[in-house]
């Protein structure tokens, strides 16, 4: 796995927050930054919808 990561790490978008060393906090800070930049330019509005589906599969009965 480490070999694969070293080969593709330079090709991954810098705004990909699922790699080691980045977190949900980084992603939320980036989204907030983009939203505030848009609002500062004027004549813009921002809507943000955040959903967490990480626990939704815990409710599925996989043995049925």
Enumerate the H helices of 1-64 as residue ranges: 2-8, 24-41
Q: What is the pLDDT of residue 53?
A: 74
Q: What is the pLDDT of residue 47?
A: 94
pTM score above 0.75: no
32 CB-near residues (< 8 Å, 6+ apart): none
Q: What is the pLDDT along the chain (64 residues), one digit of tens a residue?
A: 578 878 887 888 888 777 778 888 888 999 999 999 999 999 999 999 988 777 766 777 777 6
| CB 28 within 8 Å of CB 15 | no
Q: What is the pLDDT of residue 64?
A: 65
Q: What is the pLDDT of residue 61?
A: 72
């Amino acid at each position: 796995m480490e070999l694969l990561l070293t080969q593709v790490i330079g090709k991954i978008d810098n705004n990909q927050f699922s790699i080691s060393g980045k977190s949900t906090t980084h992603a939320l800070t980036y989204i907030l930054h983009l939203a505030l930049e848009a609002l500062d330019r004027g004549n813009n509005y921002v809507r943000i919808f955040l959903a967490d589906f990480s626990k939704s599969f815990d409710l599925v009965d996989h043995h049925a």
